[in-house]
Structure 1
């Protein structure tokens, strides 16, 4: 799935593969592994946001998906300053969720560190390097009016 542009960035193939993997997992209902506890999506969201804040994630955007999509109740999009920080943010989040709630989550893309997807079943978290996030502009898909205002150029 190439856009037909010459000079494809090295991270683009990894990200496109990640998107395809996530779509396949959603189609098969295999987004969450392990037993699900009785934690609410709101409580899970609260803990995820705290974890991202603790690890200095930047530009955190929370999107309410209830009534809009069956992929989950909430989506979070945020950035790390480097591939290393992106991978570390994701790793710590997964660790905290397992320790505090006893849940195992689906994690994709951590090796490359360009775009990591963490899917808890109720909350989907996307952690990007800034340039990858800017390229895909995932927020525009879910918050077209708000994202367009934030992205407006003078």
Structure 2
């Protein structure tokens, strides 16, 4: 991460919600499965939302991550950081205000991030967000 990126001003609530909608739309367009959004605002300083989704294969997980990064850059001018692409069992896309975890189903089940991060709340599906 560059010093310039670390000093970026915080995004407004409207910008965060636009980013959140774009992330969910991109995942829907790419046929992500079991998309869950966990609100983190007021619970953690790492991000405002955590989005967790599954792909049917490592190839689909990698494609979803790459397309999401390209779309965020093209439509919002956001550069994201991506970890885990070589294997693509679990890919993390860090868009600053939103953290996106993309998994193959069996890897997602093993780590069960929804349970770890829900803070006693029920994770929200995009239709309920």
Shift of 1:146: 3.3
5+ residue gaps in structure 1? Answer: 1-24, 148-154
TM-score under structure 1 normalisation? 0.70
Any runs of at least 4 consecutive aligned residues in structure 1 with deviations exceeding 2 A, and if so which?
35-39, 144-147
Distance across 2 between alignment mates of 1:105 and 1:68:
22
1:95 to 1:37, Cα distance in 2 relative to 1, 3 A: farther
Q: Is the 8 A contact 1:37 1:103 kept in 2?
A: no
Shift of 1:120: 0.6
Tell me whether 1:79 sits opposite 2:62 in the alignment: no
TM-score under structure 2 normalisation? 0.83
Query: Residue in 2 aligned with 1:98?
Result: 73
5+ residue gaps in structure 2? Answer: 124-129
Specify which structure has the higher proportion of helix: 1
Paired residues, what number? 119
Q: Which has the larger radius of gyration?
A: 1
Distance across 1 between alignment mates of 2:16 and 2:43:
15
Aligned-residue Cα RMSD (Å) equals: 2.5
Alignment of 1:1-154 (within 5 A): 40-143=15-118, 144=120, 146=122
Shift of 1:103: 1.1
